[in-house]
Amino acid sequence: MKIRYDCSKCPGYCCSYDRIEITDFDVRRLAKHFDLDFETAKRRFTRQYVKKSEKIDEMILRHRKDSVYKSICMFFDQDERRCTIYAARPGVCRKYPEEGRCGYYDFLKFEREQQGDDEFIPSA
Ligand code: SF4
Ligand code: SF4
When divided into structural domains, the chain yields a total of: 1
CA of 124 to the centre of ligand 2 (A): 18
Q: Which domain holds residue 87?
A: 7-115
- Read off the pLDDT of each residue in 70-79 and give the average, rounded to a whole number: 97
Within a domain: 12? yes
Q: Is residue 90 part of a domain?
A: yes
**Residues in the chain, total:** 124
Contacts of 25 (CB under 8 A, 6+ apart): 91
Residue 106: inside a domain, yes or no? yes
Q: Which residue's alpha carbon is nearest to atom 4 within ligand 2?
A: 93
Structural domain includes residue 1: no
Res 123 pLDDT > 90:
no
Residue 124 placed within a domain: no
Atom from ligand 2 closest to the CA of residue 12: 8
Confidence of residue 1 (pLDDT cuts 50, 70, 90): confident
Q: Rounded to two decimals, what is the model's pTM?
A: 0.94
Which of the four pLDDT bands, split at 50, 70 and 90, describes residue 124?
low
Residue 110 maps to a domain? yes
| Ligand 2 center–CA 109 separation, angstroms | 22
- Which atom of ligand 1 is the closest one to the Cα of 12? 5
Concatenate the DSSP letters of all residues of the chain into one string.
------GGGS--GGGG-S--B--HHHHHHHHHHHT--HHHHHHHHEEEEEEGGGTEEEEEE-EEE-SSSSEEETTEETTTTEES-GGG--HHHHHTT-SS--HHHHHHHHHHHHHT-TT-----
89 domain residue, yes or no? yes
